[in-house]
Amino acid sequence: MSLKVKDKTEVRLVFLGAAGVGKTALIRRFLQDSFESKHRRTVEELHSKEFEVDGTKVTVHILDTSGSYPFPAMRKLSIQTGDAFALVYAVDDADSLETVKRLREEILEVKQDKCTPIVVVGNKCDREDVRQVSGKEVLSMVELDWNSNFLEASAKENKDVLEVFRELLRQVHLPSRLSPALRRRRETFPNDNDARPPMNKANSCTMC
């Protein structure tokens, strides 16, 4: 049956990807509306934000993982405990897309579920002058072959960062328009009315 808010008051979103693709930058832009250009190595950090949905408190945990993956067991645990995954690559780094492909295979292996909620994010889309990865090609692969969702974003320019989180929440059947219980800045998710129509694919996962 469908997951309702009353059934799950905590959800864990896991950000995975190669080092330097901007996982931390996306999370910081979402949580603090700030951007730091200098890359800082992340081992593993867990952020939590509380929201209210129809009077019910929902805690969203966001796990920022290491891009160097020195501890396979830690990565496996991150996958086991995750509800939805953002696989992040940088549009100016073709190798980082190959990392995303490997990570997806690992997620499917660990979860043993081809319908695991996954959103592939092409970050740094502001760097068109040095782009190495075609968004159209990735869109075709992710939505048609993988049956997942794809977005391009820019943490630097705050382009579609909210949409990344909004899509992750939709995939775990939580309302994408959540009101922060402890609001530090006057910002909510965009209205659901402008959401893209559902993909119509023969191999779609059935949510019942």
Residue 205 inside a domain? The answer is no
Residue 48 inside a domain? The answer is yes
Residue 207 inside a domain? The answer is no
> What was the pLDDT predicted at 180?
57
> What was the pLDDT predicted at 173?
76
Cβ contact 161:192 at 8 Å: no
Secondary structure of residue 144 in the 3-state scheme:
helix
Residue 127 inside a domain? The answer is yes
Secondary structure of residue 152 in the 3-state scheme:
strand
Q: In terms of Cα–Cα distance, which of 17, 168, 41 is closest to 98?
A: 17
> What was the pLDDT predicted at 177?
62
Residue 130 inside a domain? The answer is yes
> What was the pLDDT predicted at 197?
39
> What was the pLDDT predicted at 172?
85
The domain in which residue 177 lies consists of 9-194
Secondary structure of residue 59 in the 3-state scheme:
strand
**Does the model's pTM come out above 0.85?**
no
pLDDT tens digit at each of 208 positions of the chain: 233 444 558 899 999 999 999 999 999 999 998 888 766 666 678 999 887 766 778 899 999 998 766 667 888 999 999 999 999 999 999 999 999 999 999 999 999 988 899 999 999 999 999 999 999 999 999 999 999 999 999 999 999 999 999 999 888 877 666 665 443 333 444 444 444 434 444 444 543 3
Q: How far apart are CA 101 and CA 139, in angstroms?
A: 13
> What was the pLDDT predicted at 39?
61
Total number of domains in the chain: 1
Residues making up the chain, counted from first to last: 208
Long-range CB contact pairs, 31-34, < 8 A, 24+: 31/62, 33/158, 33/185, 33/187
Any idea what the CATH number is for the domain that residue 42 is in?
3.40.50.300
Residue 4 inside a domain? The answer is no
